[in-house]
Amino acid sequence: MRNEILEQYLPLTPEEKEELKNKKIKKHHVATVFLHWFNLFVWITELITGAALIVSINYRFIPKFLTDIVDGVYGTRANIIKTHIFVGVIWAFVLILYALFGWRRYLKPTLKQIFFITKDDIDWLKTKFEEVALNKKVHYPPQDSYNGGQKLFAQVVAIMVPVIIVTGFIMAFHLLPPALIRWAIIIHFGAVGLVVMGLSVHIYMALLYPPEQEGFFGMITGYISEYFAYHHHYKFWRKKKKGLDAPPELEPKKDWGPIFAGIFLGVVLFFSYYLTGFGLGASGFFQRTLIAVLGAFAPEAVKAHPYMGHYWGVYPLWNFLVFMGFGLVGGTLAAMFFAHHKFRFRIERGKNITDIQRLVLSVIGGIIVGFATRIAGGCTSSQALSGGAVFSPSGWIFMLALFAGGYLAAFIFRRFWK
């Protein structure tokens, strides 16, 4: 391999070519890959539902038979609106999380690159035009990890996505007076339109244009061959090889103190009460799932049961506590995503007992706690947290009893943990 750093990439000898083809280089972080395919799902859903919502003859832009198909799929247009808003909110939430937690690592470097236009980028666009329109044989100028065309599209997306999210929230939740909502609608529409204009080129390049095939698979695996990087993203390859302008290695971050967990829990609790009127609760999810499963097999027995019959309605799972159960899944995913260096599946136990003993003890403890929460009318979340937050006496008594019981149990079982 050549030793000097070249401003321009040179033709390779066959041996060099073979060597580069066999080497892999990391192009995308797993978070970016995940976000990309999540975006694809969101854009498909939102474009279809959004287009099917604009049905007035004054603004309609796709033929009626197509919107009729979407109407048929969703049953009613009200469902289309609900889906559009629901998926949009989740999308915004994920993007905001990505922006907050990935700012330093992913977003800021990317934004810096796509808005920093060099002469090479302009030349790339010119060269591309010459190749496509004039059918010339061309040699592309060296490119960053995004080429000139990709940068152009990325700029449109980077500006329009926040516009889409803000106007979408304004419309969906009536954040501004109607006179401004009227403007939010057309801005929303126009911003989506601008992105869609680039989208067909984006999809064509990724799916159908042979020279970019490797870029497409790079968005799945995160890796591209050095050969591809050398030809298509020479500046990026050079930085990787020579460590030039390489982003500084991040020091392993210190864990946040547990106090932050408490503070954020309080904030979540506040918004839970403020937005939904309910506090948090975790055990209700298990209780209602149990009742629903039992009821699926023996509805009569459940209905007749003095305790479970009380909760047996038309939709035993249609309850905010059940949806809170999804928080367990969400929390696990968040931990896997943001604290992946610490996350692992294992059985935590002391040295004095085996894995089996530990699991048996856990199940016994779980049964006792689960039974007790039903007597107490809630677990740590609903009694101590939610109850305590609204100064419910039972919540405070529960919390004191919980700590007393916890210390007692820890004292009794302390030798298991030695």
For residues 110 and 116, give the distance between their C-alpha atoms in angstroms, rounded to a whole number. 10
225: phi then psi, degrees, rounded to nearest 5: -75, 155
According to the 3-state scheme, what is the secondary structure of 122-154? Answer: HHHHHHHHHHHHHCCCCCCCCCCCCCHHHHHHH
For residues 301 and 311, give the distance between their C-alpha atoms in angstroms, rounded to a whole number. 13
Specify the stretch interacting with another protein by CB under 8 A; choose among 172-180, 272-280, 302-310, 391-399.
Answer: 172-180
Question: 31 vs 47, which CB is nearer to another protein?
Answer: 47
Indicate whether 57 belongs to the interface with another protein (CB under 8 A).
yes
Question: 31 vs 156, which CB is nearer to another protein?
Answer: 156
Q: How many residues lie near another protein (CB under 8 A)?
A: 45
For residues 238 and 231, give the distance between their C-alpha atoms in angstroms, rounded to a whole number. 11
Among 197, 263, 268, 296, binds another protein (CB under 8 A): 197
CA torsion angle 119 125 129 132 (round to 10): 130
- In this structure, what token pair is assigned to residue 384? 């101590």
For residue 268, CA distances in Å to 32, 259, 274, 383, 387 come to 27, 14, 10, 16, 14
In the complex, the smallest distance separating the C-beta of residue 83 from another protein, rounded to whole angstroms, is 13
Length of the chain in terms of residues written: 418
Name which of residues 76 to 105 contact another protein (CB under 8 A).
76-78, 81
Q: What contacts 381, CB < 8 A, 6 or more positions away?
A: 279, 280, 281, 282, 283
Question: 183 vs 326, which CB is nearer to another protein?
Answer: 183
For residues 346 and 353, give the distance between their C-alpha atoms in angstroms, rounded to a whole number. 15
Among 231, 235, 238, 288, binds another protein (CB under 8 A): 231
Question: 185 vs 361, which CB is nearer to another protein?
Answer: 185
Among 31, 55, 94, 157, binds another protein (CB under 8 A): 55
Specify the stretch interacting with another protein by CB under 8 A; choose among 185-193, 235-243, 354-362, 384-392.
Answer: 185-193
In the complex, the smallest distance separating the C-beta of residue 229 from another protein, rounded to whole angstroms, is 13
Q: What contacts 228, CB < 8 A, 6 or more positions away?
A: 214, 215, 218
Under a CB-based contact definition with an 8 Å cutoff, are residues 328 and 282 in contact? yes
Indicate whether 75 belongs to the interface with another protein (CB under 8 A).
no
Indicate whether 12 belongs to the interface with another protein (CB under 8 A).
yes
Question: 195 vs 322, which CB is nearer to another protein?
Answer: 195
For residues 122 and 147, give the distance between their C-alpha atoms in angstroms, rounded to a whole number. 10
Direct distance between the N- and C-terminal alpha carbons of the chain, in angstroms, rounded to an integer: 57
Indicate whether 211 belongs to the interface with another protein (CB under 8 A).
yes
Indicate whether 350 belongs to the interface with another protein (CB under 8 A).
no
Looking at residue 317, its amino acid is L
Name which of residues 110 to 169 contact another protein (CB under 8 A).
132, 139-140
Question: 20 vs 302, which CB is nearer to another protein?
Answer: 20
Question: 216 vs 311, which CB is nearer to another protein?
Answer: 216
Indicate whether 182 belongs to the interface with another protein (CB under 8 A).
yes
Indicate whether 8 belongs to the interface with another protein (CB under 8 A).
no
Among 178, 252, 277, 393, binds another protein (CB under 8 A): 178
Please tell me whether residue 224 adopts helix, strand or coil conformation.
strand
In the complex, the smallest distance separating the C-beta of residue 213 from another protein, rounded to whole angstroms, is 8
Among 16, 17, 290, 370, binds another protein (CB under 8 A): 17
Per-residue buried b or exposed e for 274-304, using 16+ beta carbons within 10 Å of the residue's own CB: eeeeebbbbbbbbbbeebbebbeeeeeebee
DSSP secondary structure letters along 288-343: HHHHHHHHHH-HHHHHHSTTGGGG--S-TT-SHHHHHHHHHHHHHHHHHHHSTTT-
In the complex, the smallest distance separating the C-beta of residue 195 from another protein, rounded to whole angstroms, is 10
Among 164, 171, 224, 322, binds another protein (CB under 8 A): 171
Question: 62 vs 268, which CB is nearer to another protein?
Answer: 62
Specify the stretch interacting with another protein by CB under 8 A; choose among 88-96, 176-184, 348-356, 400-408.
Answer: 176-184
Binding residues (CB under 8 A) for another protein: these are 11-12, 17, 53-59, 61, 76-78, 81, 132, 139-140, 171-172, 174, 178-179, 181-183, 185-186, 189-190, 193-194, 196-201, 203-204, 208-211, 231
